Every structure is written in structure tokens, then in C-alpha cells.
Amino acid sequence: MNTAVEEVVLDAAGDGERPYVVRTGRGSIRARHVVHATNAHAAQFLTGLRGKMAGVKAHMTAQRPAAAAVGGDDDGDGDRGGDGFRWKDGSGPGSRSWSIIYGGGLFDYVTQRPNGDVMLGGGFGRSAGQGVDMVGVWDDSGTEGMTVAHVAGVMKALFGARWSGNVTRAWSGILAVTGDMAPFVGRVPGALSGAVGKGVALRGRKGEEKKMRLRAKKVDDGEEDRWKGAGAGEWVSAGYCGDGMVWAWLCGTALGVMVAGKENVALEKGAGFPGGKLDEWFPRELLITEARVKKADMSNLVDELL
């Protein structure tokens, strides 16, 4: 369900347990925690991040190889994966992601699906403004012609007559970059919040700041029922700088641990979760602080873009 948020209000006097009111086009929601996980759009309500992170328009294509192309249906069995296409280790399509690097820090990225279809994105520096015009953009309703021409033609340029496939779809999306090229993760300092309303920094109930030292416990352990979690607040996990497939998974997991107030708890290892205490696997350099945000000005990236 798409429920656009219009405003975040801090109203601790109304409900100390749930001091935030998230106002949407379909009504208001009372909340103890507000998590900003909208990547490039996080600065919409976290006004302290404006000028510290920006949207970047990026492009992607889906390309289908012809039968005679690399990864095409070279054996006529209807499988575009092509039984004749193999990497040196014997693996077939769908087992590799790779990049085409062409200098100046620019590159295209490619993933081939098991059926042989190629997902190819990039071409950032090939726009009319050589990439500069793609920074500070939050609208992905259209594509940039010169960029699409590049990503649509790169396979033909590389493989020549061996590539006679076609582009089945091209689209754009908004990435996020920060002024220090690393994600912002953690509890949002009050000075960076754009929440409307009056109130002091929320620190939770008296005594709640004390960390409960527990052994690794399962969810159904009786003591879990008494766990209060972290004090009310705003949280963020955003600004993956084009490397969301690397950063996003465990940044989100780390944030969940913080919201639960279990940073100092040795949690059990699970699927997609390293286990142990947070400091044992989460880079503290990613924590959002006023000092870090102050230094992370977008002007730091000028030399990389020009």
C-alpha cells in the first residue's frame, strides 16, 4: 500500500510511549519509532541531511541475446541460457556479475540471469552533462537519451557480430550519495531531525538506558516479553552510494538491533545475520552523528564529478 507521508510531528505531551505522529494522506499514525529508510529521499524529513546527501539518477536495461549471441539459444532447445555457453570453470549463465571499466572511474555493470537475459546498467558519465546533470535529481519518471544509447549499445560494441540481441526494457532509478560516500545509519540526533513540534531529545524512560546483559536467547524465551527496546526516536539507514547490494542488507539489520536496544546482547547467528554483539561486525564509522554529518558536505564530491 502506498501511503505518502506528509509530515512527521513530535508530540511527546500527547503520548509519552508513542511521541511521534506520522501524518499521511490516509490519516495519522502514532509511533514510538520512525525509521527513515528511503535512501536518497531521507532528507525530505531529515532536514539536517540536506546538502549532505543527494539523489543521483541511474539507468538500467534488460537485454535479450539472440540465438547466436553470447549466452543465446545456441543448441535450439528453447533455453536462451545456451548449453554451449560456459565460463572456464564450467558454470553457465546466471553465475556471474561483472563490470566493463573504461577509465576515469566510470564503469558499466552486468549480471546475466540463468535464462541468458542480460541486465546491464551504468553509462553515468555519458549523459548530456557528462554525469553532472544526473546529480541532485529525484525524479525517475523518464530516462536520459544519451545514457540509454550507451548502455543499449555497449554489448554490441564489445562483442560485434556475436551480439545481435535487443533491449527489452530501459528504466531509471534514484541512487543516493552522501558527502563522505558512506551510508548514514543509526539514531538520528535531534539537531538533524525535521520533525515538527516542541520537545527535548528523547532518551526513553528512567533507567531504560541501562543495557540488559543477556545470554543469546531465542525469540520464545520468557524474558523477551519484558524487553522494552530502545528509547523512542527517529532512525535512519540510507545513503548507499550506488552500492546498496553491498551495504543495505546488514545496515538494515544493524538498525533493527539498535531499535530493539540490543547492541550489547550476544544474539544468535541466523540467516543473513552474523550474530554476536553489534560492535563485533558493524562498522561504527557508519553511525550518524552531528560531527560526521557536518563534515559530509556534498561539495566534497566536486573533484569526482568534474
For residues 206 and 297, membership in a common domain is answered with yes
Whether residue 238 lies inside any domain: the answer is yes
Whether residue 3 lies inside any domain: the answer is no
Whether residue 10 lies inside any domain: the answer is no
pLDDT per position as a tens digit, 29-40: 999 999 999 999
For residues 185 and 280, membership in a common domain is answered with yes
For residues 48 and 185, membership in a common domain is answered with yes
Taking the CB of residue 153, how many other CB atoms lie within 10 A of it? 13
For residues 188 and 300, membership in a common domain is answered with yes
CA distance to 81, 142, 222, per residue, from 203 (Å): 56, 44, 26
Q: Positive or negative, the Cα torsion across 61, 67, 72, 73?
A: positive
Whether residue 256 lies inside any domain: the answer is yes
For residues 148 and 209, membership in a common domain is answered with no
For residues 139 and 85, membership in a common domain is answered with yes
For residues 280 and 135, membership in a common domain is answered with no
List the strands of the sheet with 233-238, edge to edge. Answer: 33-36, 233-238, 184-187
pLDDT per position as a tens digit, 233-274: 999 999 999 999 899 999 999 999 999 999 999 999 998 899
For residues 148 and 255, membership in a common domain is answered with no
Is it the case that residue 116 has pLDDT exceeding 90? Answer: no
For residues 153 and 248, membership in a common domain is answered with no
For residues 72 and 41, membership in a common domain is answered with no
For residues 41 and 131, membership in a common domain is answered with no
Whether residue 76 lies inside any domain: the answer is yes
In this predicted structure, what is the pLDDT of residue 73?
A: 52
- Domain edge (last residue) among 173, 203, 232: 173
Whether residue 26 lies inside any domain: the answer is no
What is the average per-residue pLDDT within 73-87? Answer: 52
Q: Which domain holds residue 204?
A: 32-52+180-305
Q: Give the closest residue to 40 by CA, choosing from 22, 20, 58, 17.
A: 58
- Domain edge (last residue) among 173, 197, 217: 173
Q: Residue 218: which pLDDT band, with cuts at 50, 70 and 90?
A: very low
For residues 156 and 202, membership in a common domain is answered with no
Angle value at C-alpha 91, between 115 and 159, nearest 5 degrees: 65
pLDDT per position as a tens digit, 42-57: 999 999 999 999 999 9
Predicted TM-score (pTM) of this structure: 0.82
Whether residue 65 lies inside any domain: the answer is yes
Burial class (CB in 10 A: 0-12, 13-18, 19+), 287: middle
3-class SS letters over the chain:
CCCCEEEEEECCCCCCCCCEEEEECCEEEEECEEEECCHHHHHHCCHHHECCEEEEEEEEEEEECCCCCCCCCCCCCCCCCCCCCCCCCCCCCCCCEEEEECCCCCEEEEEECCCCCEEEECCHHHCCCCCHHHECCCCCCCCCHHHHHHHHHHHHHHHHHHCCCEEEEEEEEEEEEECCCCCEEEECCHHHCCCECCCCCCCCCCCCCCCCCCCCCCCCCHHHHHCCCCCCEEEEEECCCCCHHHHHHHHHHHHHHHHCCCCCCCECCECCECCECHHHCCCHHHECCHHHHHHCCHHHHHHHHC
pLDDT per position as a tens digit, 131-183: 999 999 999 999 999 999 999 999 888 888 888 789 999 999 999 999 999 99
List the strands of the sheet with 107-112, edge to edge. Answer: 97-101, 107-112, 118-121, 53-64, 166-178
Whether residue 22 lies inside any domain: the answer is no
3-class SS letters over 109-138:
EEEECCCCCEEEECCHHHCCCCCHHHECCC
d(CA 296, CA 143): 29
Averaged confidence pLDDT in the chain: 85
Asked if 73 contacts 82 with a C-beta cutoff of 8 angstroms, the reply is yes
- Domain edge (last residue) among 118, 149, 173: 173
Count of domains observed in the chain? 2
Residue with cell 527489452: 168
In this predicted structure, what is the pLDDT of residue 306?
A: 66
